[in-house]
Structure 1
């Protein structure tokens, strides 16, 4: 792959921008924000956020203050919401960065209101109402009580989070939409946001004034029961370190979990679970070598994966040649299924040892690798 990295992660910034436009077009009349938490789902806030800004996105959501600070450095003029509220005593840092906390408890609301008074006036924030997740947010009764006597004044945004928008016809989604409508009626005129990536593909009753896609921006399928409308953004290639022939009955990898059913050819790749490729893909994972799907042979280890490349074309088998673990039709959703997880975890777990290569977005940086992995990131 390169002299200093065993694997390369390629991020297509043009595809990322195109996906934002697809999602924006799916929600006419609503603002399309972008969720860039978890280092832009593993793609890198420092490069992903500016590409989304140039595509037209003006509002971004992150999970933590550190991510907000990285986002501010990348897109100085953006509106930035912090989904996980704010830690006690951090209001001054939020004001300094111009960040908007998503407030989800009476304690957070009280502290934010007190801090606003001390800092000289109301500061924008979002109000999070729980309509079924039971994770963060005010209960519906709490929100209704607050509507008539809010110490915040008028929050900048009223929001909730869908539980299973990707499951077609899930009755819980309809209940959440109805509960959120009930709260919205108590806050007339306030901008509202309910739809995540999959929610953007529901009807207008879920879109409101803002949609906040995340996973779909990075190529994940927001409509699992239908073909993926999004363009692939991420490609992951690992170099072949060594090739070997084994005979019937020989084993490979830790604990000898794989046994050769006959004469086989194996390739060892320079990637493992320390790079974020899950160990749970043992026995189920595949990689593409010369366009041929080759199954994993043996346990995914910390730094290495073994492939059975018996059926791969000879021309593709050489020391240093690439094997594709994400890309060429092997998408993050399939990779997640094969590892017994979801594509979200695959993307956000992508490690820092890769040679991160960015293509698209700006002609002057087309094909230019990031000079230092993690540069400018939270």
Structure 2
């Protein structure tokens, strides 16, 4: 049954009480540990696992409970820590790494194991928050930073003094890059050895306008991002109020679903089929939300060593917006390496670029001189 058109549709909450916020969350500081638990790491042989629930902040500045999952090489003492922002791109709580690492929904779970192979610990935060607000980039950056704080503060995990790097690609790259940009003001006490990010959606308005109203193979993810942003900004981005009956049906149909489901069922659909009105993109408030979550529009400058990579002909995430961000960072003094590839297919660039990104992190963990290649 379709719910009221004007109301955002949130995911079904995870029934596990571990994910429930405590009554005193308001009195905690960002990154404070709420609870931890030791977990069975299942298919990730040779690892020890923990989950950490912690206090973070949403886009409105209000406290939220967030969770990260930590895998450590068995027997390792004080290993370096990589906060890996996985490809969530989803709307359901079952799609967050705390669940998708173990239920088959996390498509880059193999990539998440690469730090383990190098002897590092890896933390995979549910960086879209409890409402799985896909597209809310600023939120993702804050949750990512608070997840690092929380892992370091969880004494039983033993990573308080470990060097830290942040990594991600595509939606995960957006979270990683936003964490780097926010860190000097939101978490100035964190010492980040490196941030690596590729395939970054750096300008959400540009992407939305590029998608237009024509059928598109990636429409399912674009629609999910609109729903996620509405969840995070219910008063400022009333997407549901702009949907026709078919659009509301698809919203309800995808409410709790993950990336593959969204791509399959959204392929070659369009905003034209779902929109009752084309006026939303003309709203100044809607543009403000998109700008607020676009790295291209954020004036903050990272201070941590950064490695960015992107496909020049990427048909999903435009190159020019990322290049503009990289140029500004270089001008403002960020120790940046920016690498471009003459590749159009979005995920191919991830496969090509990650080996050098991991090597960049390893060099920073070894305290080697930081290269700058703008």
Could you say which structure has the larger radius of gyration?
A: 1
Q: Which protein has the bigger helix share?
A: 2
Same fold, TM-score > 0.5, yes or no: no
TM-score by length of 2: 0.27
